[in-house]
Amino acid sequence: MSIEGPLSVSVTEMEEPGKRELHISFNPDFQSLALEQQGSEFSNYVDRLKQQSSQSDADSAEQQGIMTILQIAEQLLPHIQSGEIPLMETIVIEIHQQPGLADLIKQNEMH
C-alpha cells in the first residue's frame, strides 16, 4: 500500500501474536511548512484517503490499511490545524488484531 502524503508509516510486528505497532512520523517537507499550509495539506490528505477508501477495486488488506490510516488522520487533523502536535516526534500506536468471524469459523471447524 502506498499513500503519498505528509505521513511516513511503518509497521512493527510484536512478539505477541496479533499485536503490532504503527510508527507514524511527519515528513520533513511537511514539517517545514507554515502552520496554515500544514493544516490545508493535511486536510487534503484526509480527503485523498477518503477517496481511496471508497474505491471498490482495493483488496481487503489494502482497504483495511487505508481505513486505519484514515481514522488516525481524521483524529490528528484538528490538532495539526491548531499546531498542538510536535511534528518532529514519532507517534506510536499499538494495534491488537481481533480474530474475524471467518477465523472463528475455521477454528470451530477444526475442532
Number of H helices, E strands in the chain: 4, 3
What's this model's pTM, rounded to 2 decimal places?
A: 0.78
pLDDT surpasses 90 at 74: yes
The sign of the dihedral angle between the CA atoms of 75, 10, 36, 48 is negative
pLDDT surpasses 70 at 109: no
Q: What residue type is assigned to position 9 of the chain? A: V
pLDDT surpasses 70 at 65: yes
Q: What is the pLDDT of residue 104?
A: 57
User: What is the mean pLDDT of the segment spanning 62-87?
Assistant: 92
From 102, 100, 74, 38, select the one nearest 66 (Cα to Cα).
74
d(CA 45, CA 6): 8
Name the more confident of 100 and 94: 94
pLDDT surpasses 90 at 78: yes
Q: Rounded to the nearest 5°, which phi and psi values hold at 107?
A: -60, -45
User: What is the mean pLDDT of the segment spanning 69-92?
Assistant: 95
d(CA 3, CA 6): 9
